[in-house]
Structure formats: C-alpha cells, structure tokens
Amino acid sequence: METVAKLNGDVKDIALADDGKRKIQWANQHMPVLQLIRKQFIKDQPLKGIRVSACLHVTSETANLVITLRDGGADVVLCASNPLSTQDDVASSLVRDYNIPTYAIKGEDNATYYSHISAALDHKPQITMDDGADLVTQLLTKRTDLLSGVIGGTEETTTGVIRLRAMAKDGTLKFPIIAVNDALTKHFFDNRYGTGQSTLDGVIRATNLLLAGLKVVIAGYGWCGRGVAMRAKGHGADVIITEIDPVKGIEAVMDGFRVLQMADAAKEGDVFITVTGNKNVIRSEHFEHMKSGAVVCNSGHFNVEIDIPALEKLSSGKREVRPLVDEYLLKDGRRINLIGEGRLVNLASAEGHPASVMDMSFANQALSAEYLVKNSKDLKAQVYVVPEHLDKEIARLKLESMGHKLDKLTAEQEHYLSSWQEGT
Ligand SMILES: NC(=O)c1ccc[n+]([C@@H]2O[C@H](COP(=O)([O-])OP(=O)(O)OC[C@H]3O[C@@H](n4cnc5c(N)ncnc54)[C@H](O)[C@@H]3O)[C@@H](O)[C@H]2O)c1
C-alpha cells in the first residue's frame, strides 16, 4: 500500500487513479444539473477562497461535487463518512488528477477513520459538509478551537439531520446547518429511488440471490424503506414491512405489503434489510427465530440497526463465504449471513446511488454552500431547510435535462388559484 502523504491525502494506492478518473468522468455524464452549476461556478467564483471540509461517501458522484466546489473557487478537502463506502480508485484520482486532498481508504479501521476526519478538520473549514454529522460532532466536541472560523455547514442524510436538530435543541450546535436531506429534490428521489435501487443492487452483488419468490423483510417504511420495498416487489419478492409508526404502517398495507412485528417476520424472512435510522432493530430475540441461511443487511446510516454483538454471542464462529458476506455459525447449528458488517449495504457491496439521482442531491449541496457564503450573517446556530426557490429550480433543471416539459399556468388559472372568491 502506497501512502501518498506527499500528495496531501491518504489513499489506498495511487496507481488506481486511472480507473477512478474514468469512473468520475462517467458519473459526470449523468449529472447534468451539477454540470450547469459548475459552469456558473467557474464564471461567478461564489466560493472563492472558502475552505471547505467535506466528510462524504467517497464515490464518483461525490468526486464531481468536490470538483464543482473547487471550480467555484473553494479550497476543498474530502474524507470518508463511512469506513466501507470509499471507492479507492476515485479517491486516488481526486488526489492525483484533481489535486483535491482526500483521506479515505475502503475498509479503514475506526482509528484511521477518525484520523482522516481529523486531517479534514486540520484544514480549518469555513464550511463543513457532512453525511451523518461525524465531522461536525468531532468539531464541536474535540476541535472547538476551530469554531470561530466556521461560517456554517450542510448535512446530507436523515440520521445526520436528526443528530444536528438534537444538538440545536440543547444548544450544542454553534453554527448554522442547511439540511440538504430535507430538500424535496433530495429525499423524494435520493432516499427513495436511489436507496431503493442501490440497496437491492448491493444485496444481489453480494449474494447473487434470485429475489423472486423470496420473503424480503424491510424494517422501516420511510423514504428509503418505500423505495426498497417497491423495487423488491418488482423483483417478485414477497415483501414484509416492520414499522413503529401507524401512518407508515397503514401506507405499507395499502401499498400492498404485509406489516408484521419483527418477532413474527423473523420466522418467515429469507432476506432482512433495515432502513430505520434506529438501533438494535434486529436483535438476539429475532436471530433466535430466523431460518438457517437467512441473509441480513442494513441500508440505514449507521451500523447499529443490527445488533451484531448479539449475533456474535449466539455464534460459535464465522467465516467469509463471499466477499463482504460473513456466515455466522450459530451454536444450535443454524447459519445466518451478514452483508458488509452491517454497514450501508448499497455502498459496501455496490456503488451507492446512481449518478443521475446524486445529481439533484449534490446540486443542493453546491447551491447550499453558495447560499451559506451569501447569507451566513443572517443565519443562527440552527438547522435550516434548503430555500424553496433553489429546490424548485433544481427540479426544473432536472426535468429539462431529461427532456420533459411542464405546462405553465394561464393568467386566468393563476387568478383562480390565488383568489378565494372564485370557484363557487
Ligand atoms: N443507504 C443509503 O444510501 C441511504 C440514503 C439515504 C438515507 N439513508 C439512511 O437511511 C435511514 C432511513 O432514512 P429515511 O430517509 O428513510 O428516514 P425516515 O425517517 O423517512 O424513515 C425511517 C422509518 O423507520 C421507522 N422506524 C424507526 N424505528 C423503527 C423500528 N424500530 N422498527 C421499524 N421501523 C422503525 C420510522 O417510523 C420511519 O418510518 C437513515 O439512517 C438515513 O440516514 C441511507
């Protein structure tokens, strides 16, 4: 393994950069909205001289985001937001071909993961970009010396937004955050269609299972869960949902799925996918009833949705049966397969979301960074949503790039919709 400290980063092997460059270029072709923003950024330089530390999944799509920020004038560094989600070739290309310091190695241990976050913080960010709030958490707890220089930050995912809102509530948050996840052009599409497709892609690449005819248990029927369920149904799976929210539960039922408690679903399922953002959703009492050969994985942000220590306790040993698939041999003779150490299966065993959907998520990131620079003086240490006009503009550009056209309101219709006297 060649360490590339001299190139200002820490990646697995710089010789992988050619492959990474091809991947970055391929993703770029499928990110037309980000391309438009990049063109504008090159012209306007809205981030000129702004130091950005980004802690995101290091994929070919993220590469295009950080290149866009750099082209907008930012001085940007990148580190991984998950130890297993890095594409090593992309990380190498960012360092070698784009001169963007990148600290990320797929499979890095916890200590390296945090040392990489620390390296990104050494950059003294004025803007933070997070996926899961690990960077901001480190900054607020271990690197408070940097606080005075921070203008604000952005957050990519549901779990990160939940953590940051909790920080804002108890006064721990010290600068404004834009919740990119909460933009409609983010979670409607990225969480639903992106996670839906890429999660199944991860399960299939890891196991090569035929989903048709299998019982697939999905924990959580939020934005991600709906997407995974919809796609699993399309594969011919018999989908079972577990939920704790009655509205989501009834929605799942009316979408045509059975809703069971995990205690019962555990006995039936062939494949289990957690996407709740919660912890210990599958635990000892559930493993105890699973069929031998069951496959278990997680697509929620943290690797806490499956109680892996409990699975270990029930087991007499484990072996890797396929890349990133651990078969646990239970003391009673059953076998349970865990994909990707319970980390995001779509990033560990596949390539994460397709570029076309990250196009909108990262358009939100880029425009939110610009918004922070322009408006930081008026923002408090709170979590803000992406301004509606930016959200709508991203949707408009995406539709246009896909060759679709919207109707326009006539003057008469506009009047009708805005007037209470009409319509009688
Ligand atoms: N894999 C990815 O690439 C990817 C992409 C986007 C978001 N995420 C992550 O996925 C997770 C879910 O995100 P979301 O946007 O769908 O959130 P969401 O809030 O829309 O949905 C979560 C759902 O889980 C349910 N839930 C909570 N605890 C539960 C339990 N014990 N049992 C069953 N259901 C339970 C909630 O009621 C809710 O309906 C988050 O951690 C988010 O950060 C992952």
What's the pLDDT tens digit per position in 283-327? 999 999 999 999 999 999 999 999 999 999 999 999 999 999 999
Answer whether residue 190 shows pLDDT above 90.
Answer: yes
Measured in whole angstroms, how far is the alpha carbon of residue 38 from the centre of its chain?
22
Q: How far is the CA of 374 from the centre of ligand 1 (A)?
A: 32
What is the C-alpha separation between 299 and 276, in angstroms, rounded?
A: 8
pTM tops 0.85: yes
- pLDDT tier for residue 7 given thresholds of 50, 70 and 90: low
Longest dimension (CA), the chain: 75
- pLDDT tier for residue 216 given thresholds of 50, 70 and 90: very high
Using a 6 Å CB cutoff, which residues line ligand 1? Answer: 157-159, 187, 191, 195, 219-225, 242-245, 248, 275-278, 281, 299-301, 344, 346
Report strand pairing: 152-155 vs 325-330: unpaired
What's the pLDDT tens digit per position in 227-262? 999 999 999 999 999 999 999 999 999 999 999 999
Q: How far is the CA of 196 from the centre of ligand 1 (A)?
A: 12
Tell the residue nearest (CA) to atom 5 of ligand 1.
191
Tell the residue nearest (CA) to atom 18 of ligand 1.
222
Q: How far is the CA of 221 from the centre of ligand 1 (A)?
A: 7
User: According to the model, what pLDDT value does residue 3 have?
Assistant: 44
Answer whether residue 51 shows pLDDT above 50.
Answer: yes
Compute the radius of gyration of the chain from its Cα atoms: 22
Q: How far is the CA of 278 from the centre of ligand 1 (A)?
A: 7
Give the position, in ligand 1's atom list, of the atom nearest the Cα of 277: 41
Q: Pick the closest to residue 47 from 407, 263, 338, 368 (CA basis).
A: 368
As a whole-number percent, the residues of the chain with pLDDT over 70 amount to 98
Query: At which residue do the structure tokens 């001289």 appear?
Result: 49
Ligand 1 pocket test target in 158, 190, 264 with most atoms within 8 Å of CB: 158
Tell the residue nearest (CA) to atom 17 of ligand 1.
222
Answer whether residue 6 shows pLDDT above 60.
Answer: no
Answer whether residue 200 shows pLDDT above 90.
Answer: yes
User: According to the model, what pLDDT value does residue 424 have?
Assistant: 58
Residue 182 amino acid letter: D
- pLDDT tier for residue 266 given thresholds of 50, 70 and 90: very high
Q: Residue range 41-47: average pLDDT?
A: 98
| Helices H / strands E in the chain, number of each | 18, 15
Q: How far is the CA of 274 from the centre of ligand 1 (A)?
A: 8
Q: How far is the CA of 22 from the centre of ligand 1 (A)?
A: 33
Q: How far is the CA of 276 from the centre of ligand 1 (A)?
A: 3
In 62-189 the beta strands, taken as DSSP E runs, fall at: 75-80, 102-103, 127-130, 152-155, 177-179
User: According to the model, what pLDDT value does residue 112 have?
Assistant: 98
User: According to the model, what pLDDT value does residue 133 have?
Assistant: 97
- pLDDT tier for residue 423 given thresholds of 50, 70 and 90: low
What is the C-alpha separation between 389 and 378, in angstroms, rounded?
A: 18
Give the position, in ligand 1's atom list, of the atom nearest the Cα of 158: 43
Q: Residue range 54-60: average pLDDT?
A: 98
Ligand 1 pocket test target in 157, 182, 257 with most atoms within 8 Å of CB: 157
Answer whether residue 73 shows pLDDT above 90.
Answer: yes
**Which residues contact residue 353 at a Cβ distance below 8 angstroms, ignoring those fewer than 6 apart?**
61, 190, 194, 195, 197, 198, 346, 361
User: According to the model, what pLDDT value does residue 8 have?
Assistant: 86
Q: Which helix (H) or strand (E) holds 396?
A: helix 388-401
Q: How far is the CA of 279 from the centre of ligand 1 (A)?
A: 11
- How does DSSP assign 167-209, residue by residue? HHHTT---S-EEEGGGSHHHIIIIIIIIHHHHHHHHHHHHH--
Give the position, in ligand 1's atom list, of the atom nearest the Cα of 159: 43
